Amino acid sequence: MGTTTFDFSGQVALVTGAARGIGKGSAEAFAEAGARVYVLDLDEAGGETVARDIRKRGGNASFVACDVTEAGRVTTAFDRILAEAERLDILVNSAGGFWKQLSVEETPEEEWDKVVDLNLKSIFLCTRAAIPAFKRQRSGRIVNIGSMAGVSVLQPSSPPYAAAKAGVHSLTRVLAFELGKHGVTANAIAPGTTATERVVAVRSQEQRDMIGKGTLIGRIAEVSDMVGWVLFLASPEAGYLTGQTISVNGGRLMV
């Protein structure tokens, strides 16, 4: 089976959390498809490596260090990118995740705030910083990375993570509602468990196998299973789709 070819030549894509995992896969794929890519991440070494590797392959990428939970840092990063690129076509909000599987009873307040800030506030801050450019251009694509954990509870997770991801899906609809008249779409994907380094660190092999067996495809997802959806939601073909969350979970949960 061949693969779909996308063309984002002349477009500027900014991907948060792009030093690793789904963000990294998306940044690489946008660059491969001709976009000028900004790799935003807290991890300076990892982000620099992603951008450098893209450039080595002939792509156009820059790394910008940014903590996406800090309003001031987000403003500084977006101001710099917009001054340099002079436009922004695609914003992929991928920074997110959790590290501790706790019950509600076990969750300290600081853990709640940290996880909600990373998964939900970050999308508010980054999208707010992108909106003026999108409005000026009368076009833009927002792709948020939500989670199956924000749709239902099928396995131990993290309470603030699940709650924040449900918030991401809701914020996606709010953004679609506000920005449709400005030519901007906002959609999300809700990935099932995906074999990124973080997930391999957080979930045991036994858990990953068990989750994989619960899908109709018989395995957990690879990063490449998510990336195509991210590019599709940013493509011209997806121009009439907005406010939606696409569940990419191998049929584990049919919603």
Q: Between 35 and 149, whose beta carbon lies closer to ligand NAP?
A: 149
Report in angstroms how near the CB of residue 197 gets to ligand NAP at its nearest: 6
Give the nearest residue (CB) to ligand NAP. 21
Q: Between 28 and 41, whose beta carbon lies closer to ligand NAP?
A: 41
Report in angstroms how near the CB of residue 128 gets to ligand NAP at its nearest: 15
Report in angstroms how near the CB of residue 195 gets to ligand NAP at its nearest: 7
Q: Between 43 and 182, whose beta carbon lies closer to ligand NAP?
A: 43
The residues that touch ligand NAP, with contacts defined as CB under 6 A, are 16-17, 19-23, 41-43, 46, 66-69, 94-97, 118, 145, 147, 191, 193-194, 196-199
Angle 110-115-14 (CA atoms, 0-180°, nearest 5)? 140
Q: Between 193 and 245, whose beta carbon lies closer to ligand NAP?
A: 193
Report in angstroms how near the CB of residue 9 gets to ligand NAP at its nearest: 26
Report in angstroms how near the CB of residue 29 gets to ligand NAP at its nearest: 13
Has 161 been annotated as catalytic? yes
Among the listed residues 148, 161, 162, 223, the single catalytic one is 161
Please give, one letter per residue, the 3-state secondary structure of the chain. CCCCCCCCCCCEEEEECCCCHHHHHHHHHHHHCCCEEEEEECCHHHHHHHHHHHHHCCCEEEEEECCCCCHHHHHHHHHHHHHHHCCCCEEEECCCCCCCCCCCCCCCHHHHHHHHHHHHHHHHHHHHHHHHHHHHHCCEEEEEECCHHHCCCCCCCCHHHHHHHHHHHHHHHHHHHHHHHHCEEEEEEEECCECCHHHHHHCCHHHHHHHHHCCCCCCCECHHHHHHHHHHHHCHHHCCCCCCEEEECCCCCCC
Q: What is the rounded CA–CA span in Å between residue 194 and residue 219? A: 10
Q: Between 1 and 255, whose beta carbon lies closer to ligand NAP?
A: 255
Q: Known catalytic residues?
A: 161
